[in-house]
Structure formats: C-alpha cells, structure tokens
Amino acid sequence: MKLGIAGLGTVGVGVVKIIEKHGELLANRCGQTLEITAVSGRDKTKDRGVNLDGMTWYDNAVDMAADPNVEMVLELIGGSEGVAKDLCEAALSQGKPVVTANKALLAVHGTELARLAEDNNTSLAYEAAVAGGIPIVKAIREGLAGNVFSRVYGILNGTCNYILTEMEETGGDFGDILADAQKLGYAEADPSFDVDGVDAAHKLAILTSLAYGTPVDFDSVYIEGIREVSALDIAFAKEFGYRIKLLGVARHTDKGIEQRVHPCMVRCETPIASVSGVFNAVVAEGDFVDSTVYEGRGAGEGPTASAVLADVIDIAAGRISPTFGVPADKLVDLPKVAVEEHVGCYYVRLTVLDKPGVIADVSAVFRDEDVSIESLLQRGRSPGQEVSVVLTTHEVQEAALLKALKRIENFDHTVAAPRMIRIATL
C-alpha cells in the first residue's frame, strides 16, 4: 500500500517513525507492506530527523492526490479550509482513501466529505482527530455498535486539563499557569483555540454525529472556555467536594440533542475527576453496556501518529466502515437543544458588599425565579467591604437561573458579575 503524507509536522513525522520502526509488524497486521511514496511539507530543506529519500516531494499537497504512485492519502496539515480541504476532496473524488487527524475540517465539512467518500466507494477515516491516542472512534462506531447512547462526554483538550490541574495543585491563577504551560510547550503562543473551548467543540461535534447518527453540526455546539475560572472558584469547588474540568457533553434528551463545551464541577470520586495533566478521557454511556471509560494521551507525536496508523491498517486490510457509523444518507437531523433549556445543578459565586440584607435580597430573587438553594457559604466578615458569597442550587432550568443572576447583577451591593459553573451529574 503506497502512502502519501501531506503535512510533516509533529504527527506526520511520527507516522514516518512508526512505519520505519514497525514495518514488518504493520505488514503482518494489515496483510501488505506500507510504503511512503510521497510527502509534502512547508520546507523541503528542513531536517526532521527522519529519512525522506526516495519519496516524491510535493510543494502543493493537492497535487499528491493525482499521483498514480499514491494509493492512500494521509492529510496531516490541519485547518478547516484551504489546502487540507482541497486535498481531501481531490483524493476522495478519485476513489483514494483518506486518513486525517483534522478535527476542524471534519467538524465543519465532515458530512459532505463522508458523502463524497461513499459516492466514490472509498473511505474517510479520522481516529486521530478525536482524543489523540484513545481509540474512541473505533470504540463507539464498532465496539459499542449494539448500544443506543444516552450520553457521551469527556475531557477533550489536554491544554485546558493541564491548566486546571495546575491551578488546583498550586493555587495559581489562570494567567500565570497559562504562561507556564506556554513555556513548557503545552499551550500555543496564541492559546485561544484551546482555552476558549473551540478545539474541544470540534471534537465533540464529531463524537455527537458518531454516537447519534446525525449530520455533524459544529454551529450548534455551545462553547465556553476556561478563561473565567479563578483560583477562588477552584478552592470553593474543593470545599464542596468537586473538581473543575472542561467537559464536552453530548446528550440525547426528549427534546433533542445537547452539544455543549464548558467548565463543569465534577465530584472528586468520579473517574473523570482523577484525569489530570495533559491526559484526555471519554465516557460513553450505552443502554446495554452501561458506562465505559477511555483515558490516555490526547495529543503529541506518538499517540496521534499511533491513531493515524490504526486507520491506515484498517483500510489496508480492507476493513472499511461508514464515516459516522451509518451511511451518509442515513444520517438524521435531530432537534438541537439550546443550553438555556438545560436542567441541572449549579455553582454560583457572588461578589457583594458585606452589609445587612444582602442574603435576604438574593434569596428573594431566587424565590421569585423558582431557583432552590441547596447550600450557601460565606467566609469571614468584612463590614462594608466586598466578600464572596458562594452557593449551589438544586436542579433548575438554566434560563431561570440566568434571569435571577441578571437581576442580582443589577443590585447596588453587587460589585462584580455573578460567576456560574454547571455541576455535572456523572
């Protein structure tokens, strides 16, 4: 099987290394030798630490699709538009299978690319696009194919999980821990894609389609990052018996599909709470299998390249599955549930002036909006100064809580916008 690799960054080089090291093993596992015949990258002269001799170099990766000496294309460039999209379309149109690690491309164009693959009797595979080395795509599409999923959720971004873990362990604030993460290479110079939740949302959109047989709909994902999570919130969470994690949650309800990415408070004793550092974890809840948990490295050269090779081996061995578990024409549009319709428990932190009547006013607003307080905490007294009042609620519709918080924000004794974090029942 002759392979063309487009993109010779961390993952692309990792794929070359695995094929060099485990060539005979891979051949035994897929029934034929894997040979890299063509490559494309930004700089032909760069020393990448691997031997590219004998491989055809393409300055324009799209041209690789027409090479008769390339039977399978590995798209490891990234980005939802441009060369990556053009290459995938060109290869699939010619009936050549595509393996990609590109979550942004699949989140935005996954459904149309799946149709293109099927129309040309070929395969579009993407294990490496979600949760790095964790084989969650294969688990949901094949290993758990006999189940209807009530919920799929998880920690889908290692950068955010590292930052939140460090904030908890050191007591540091978001900005300081982010700067440290950038120095260590865990966060990009521009970390927005990660810390604002977009990366996790791309992955969640793919998992939602895979789990529920619905077209990929990234635009319907509610996205909230971790910039507003403070050391104070993490300390209070610990006091209540929780840890804060950025979770992606896909859930099938009577109203339709929920897709949301946001910080959550999770009970310390739950499996997802113990996932620390740069690790990812996904939990799939099926009606017959109950709850299954998958944990591992969500990024990096080795884990992601390992996932790419898993797809390459499947295709080379003739094991081809529909992109999202069912044929593209069987994907069904399901109603999308707005986050304001979510019903759950919440953590709320208010910053108010410490004076008589404040708690009574807050309680009155919550009563009027039918929000029931489960617990309330205020540490110390500072008459006339600002203090934090922290509370948790019983189950309530989010729209009602937001209405209450808006009223509280307008109080004269409120000195900062209320902070709300959803409590996950796992």
Burial per residue of 299-336, b for 16 or more beta-carbon CB atoms within 10 angstroms, e otherwise: bbbbbbbbbbbbbbbbbbeeeebbbbbbebeebeebeb
Question: Cβ atoms within 10 A of the Cβ of 33, count?
Answer: 13
Instruction: Choose among 137, 283, 152, 261: nearest CA to 199.
Output: 261
Select from 259, 242, 297 the least CA-distant residue to 107: 259
User: Which 3 state secondary structure label does DSSP give 382?
Assistant: coil
How far, rounded to the nearest angstrom, does the alpha carbon of residue 321 sit from its chain's CA centroid?
A: 22
Q: Do residues 388 and 325 lie in contact, with contact meaning Cβ atoms separated by under 8 Å? A: no
Please calculate the CA angle 391-395-396 and round it to the nearest 5 degrees.
90
Euclidean distance between CA atoms 288 and 149, whole angstroms: 9
Encoded tokens for 351: 């910053």
183 carries an active-site annotation: no
102 phi/psi in degrees, rounded to 5: -95, 90
Reference 208, options 146, 151, 285; nearest CA is 151
Closest CA to 140 of 289, 303, 260, 333: 289
The token pair at 212 is 């529920």
Q: Please answer whether residues 30 and 313 qualify as being in contact, where contact means their C-beta atoms are separated by less than 8 angstroms.
A: yes
Kind of pairing, strands 256-267 and 242-253? antiparallel
Among 46, 203, 238, 355, the active-site one is: 203
Q: Name the residues annotated as catalytic.
A: 203
